[in-house]
Amino acid sequence: MKVKKVLLPVFLLTLLSSCSVNTPSSNITKKTSTPTIASTNSIPKSSTAIENLEDIKPQNEVEFSSFFDIQNAISTEINISSIELQKLNRDYLNYKNKGLKSPIYRLADSVTIAINIANQEYKYVYYNVGVKMKGNTSRHEFIDKDSNIYDNIHFKLSFEETFDDPNYYSENEYNISNELKEKYKNRKFIDMSKLDLRYNKNKDQSYIKEYYALSMYRDFGILAPHCTFSSLTINQDGKNKINYGVYYVEEPLNKSFIKRSLSSKDTYIGMSDYSEEKKGKYGVSNSKYGQLYKASYGVGNITGAPDMTRNDSFLFGVENIDSSEPPYELKSNTDNPDHTLITNMINTLNNGSYQDIANVIDLDYFYMYEAVASVLGDPDDLRNDYNNYGLYFRKTDGKMVIIPIDKDRELGVSMDYDPSGNAMSLVSVFSSQTSAGKQLNNLYNKTLLADGKSSFVDSLKTVINSKWVTNEYFNSIYEIVKNHYEDVTKDALCNVSFSLNETYNGSKGNKSFSTYIKEKLNTINNDLKNYNNELNNPDSNNIIYGSSEFYLTGTMDNWSMTSSDYRFTKIDDNKYSYSMIIPNNFECKIYCNDKKIWLRADNDSYLREDGSNMKFNDVGKTIIFIIDTFTGKLSYTIS
């Protein structure tokens, strides 16, 4: 792509020829022929847009995959005035007082991103870029009244911001041509309209655990955002450069994420190419995307755990920047919200059988997702805290898949939050507990903790026999990142030195990868041994193991023990089923002809010998009983 020639004022020609970018000098070679942005007093210090300057891109643009290849070093510089930084800080405080997150993008005069690929530098300069504070618990003040920056924050960059909301900017502050505004509305950096910049909040001295986790998910066929690293410099007022250190650069979760992922050469479990996905019939008609949600505890006047147990309508919706961000925030098809697929899924989890769940959720995908998650050990994820995940309902078949996001507490990272007391390394992969208590989500209770246990184990074995659990592979990634960016950390605003030898001290420290993975693999191997013992020695609560002939008996057949009309039918290796319309005054038990015993289900669903009759009052509705001889339990659904 050729750079468009424009006539520039003399001081801007000087500005463009005199700048430097703060990068690791040992890894990035400057090309003096590449136009750059100034670090002089010529950069505007107020909220006045730079007009009549074309964004600058290299003649050969960098591919998306190359940008996120950690072999290539990156530097980012945000040129912004103190006035705009103070606005950013004030926005945080104003919205914090409302219980909200500020949606306002503030004006950065320019953002320069340089990528070094095989000693060839590719530099991008974007003028008038939106910058806002990103994060939940990471949000805080970062600049004092004298405009001294004293702390790191997460940033979100928007290349498509037009700053035309009169509540935030007057025409005197930002007034550019309509032609330029139209360009900005469709402006992208390497196919991304936005970009997330996240600092090392939890002081992971390896620096790579979040990158490692997201890459590991993708390698096992799970949709996950791409992540890489960059040095970050804040050029304040064009004269005060502040080294912000090493930042994660992450692909944001939006509908374009789906298109990029499914248009790539990567293979994801159960996912079709984007050309097929957009032709699907599920979800909103005439849309190119399925239903994409970001799940969190919500912000503002609509909050609650996205634990997949409740169907209250207020839990689902589109972000309202002035009042709320719902726990299930719709990120696609926002002009035509339709929550049928997600509410049907939650209803199925609450009331459906294993097969019903398999009809609305891609369980092969889920078992692999959870196998990776179990090894990574995040106390703040879907399983342990109902947090930090996305949901995508495919257009091809309507089935849901999970997207992991915000993976900054993986592989022994426990800084400021260690609910297990062992950085998750000793937590069983078959645990029915969350960080806060009993697991409420039936996606776990009815699948990998029950009928899908063997499938989950198969996925788990695949993960623990991979390169991803070896010190050698982790260390090789660490060395690449360290070589690129170690020099940047030495005079950074908030320095965290590179090291593989972290010291665990509860929530005041982090476990090293080598310590964590050794303990975690030991935990998992013990879990698998116990699982194998269960196969050979069923639970002592199970009094029907090996049985195969069951009859429903009760008021409807005058307690006939072996009426062929009420015999259970085998539906799987260990499962037997019977369905009927519930009559008036219905009481029943189950007769096991193999062992000549009468059975009823106790409060834990185990089938016990004799005892009180089971009673059902939903007259006229269909009840489906399922006996699992492997677990010794009875389950039923009424519809």
Task: Return the SS3 of 488.
Answer: helix
Q: pTM of the predicted model, to two decimals?
A: 0.79
The answer to whether 69 and 228 have CB atoms below 8 angstroms apart is yes
Residue 45 has pLDDT above 50, yes or no: no
pLDDT tens readout for residues 183-196: 899 999 999 999 99
Q: Kindly give, in sequence order, each residue whose CB lies less than 8 Å from that of residue 511, ignoring residues fewer than 6 positions away.
A: 411, 412, 413, 414, 423, 425, 502, 504, 519
The answer to whether 400 and 418 have CB atoms below 8 angstroms apart is no
- Residue 27's pLDDT band (cuts 50, 70, 90): very low
Task: Return the SS3 of 544.
Answer: coil
Which structure tokens are listed for 583? 């009559």
Query: Which of these, 39, 43, 40, lies nearest to 83 by C-alpha position?
Result: 43
Q: What separation, in Å, do the N-terminal and C-terminal C-alpha atoms of the chain show?
A: 61
Determine the pLDDT at residue 47: 59
Residue 42 has pLDDT above 60, yes or no: no
Task: Report the alpha-carbon distance of residue 528 to residue 447 in Å, rounded.
Answer: 17
Residue 10 has pLDDT above 50, yes or no: no
Determine the pLDDT at residue 457: 96
Which whole number is the average pLDDT over 166-174?
84
Q: Provide the Cα torsion 262, 268, 273, 276; round to 10°.
A: -110
Task: Report the alpha-carbon distance of residue 558 to residue 316 in Å, rounded.
Answer: 48
Determine the pLDDT at residue 12: 34
- What does the DSSP 8-state code read for residue 446? I
Task: Return the SS3 of 121.
Answer: strand
SS (H, E, C) 439-472: CCCHHHHHHHHHHCHHHHHHHHHHHHCCHHHCHH
Task: Return the SS3 of 627.
Answer: strand
H/E stretch holding 292 reads strand 291-295
- Residue 462's pLDDT band (cuts 50, 70, 90): very high
Mean pLDDT of the chain: 88
* Residue found under tokens 């009928």: 451
Percent of the chain beyond pLDDT 90?
A: 69
Residue 201 has pLDDT above 90, yes or no: yes
DSSP 245-274: EEEEEE---SHHHHHHHHHSS---TTPPPH
* Residue found under tokens 């990471």: 138
Task: Report the alpha-carbon distance of residue 114 to residue 484 in Å, rounded.
Answer: 13
Task: Return the SS3 of 520.
Answer: helix
Question: φ and ψ at 374, to 5 degrees?
Answer: -65, -35
The answer to whether 365 and 269 have CB atoms below 8 angstroms apart is yes
Question: In this structure, are strands 316-317 and 328-330 parallel, antiparallel, or unpaired?
Answer: parallel
Residue 13 has pLDDT above 60, yes or no: no
* Residue found under tokens 């507990």: 433
Residue 141 has pLDDT above 80, yes or no: yes
Say if residue 75 is exposed, middle or buried (CB neighbours under 10 Å; 0-12, 13-18, 19+).
buried
Determine the pLDDT at residue 585: 92
- Residue 26's pLDDT band (cuts 50, 70, 90): very low
Query: Which of these, 213, 219, 220, 630, lies nearest to 459 by C-alpha position?
Result: 220
Determine the pLDDT at residue 49: 62
Which structure tokens are listed for 298? 């919500």
Determine the pLDDT at residue 11: 32
Higher pLDDT, 584 or 26: 584
Say if residue 417 is exposed, middle or buried (CB neighbours under 10 Å; 0-12, 13-18, 19+).
middle
AA letter at 45: K
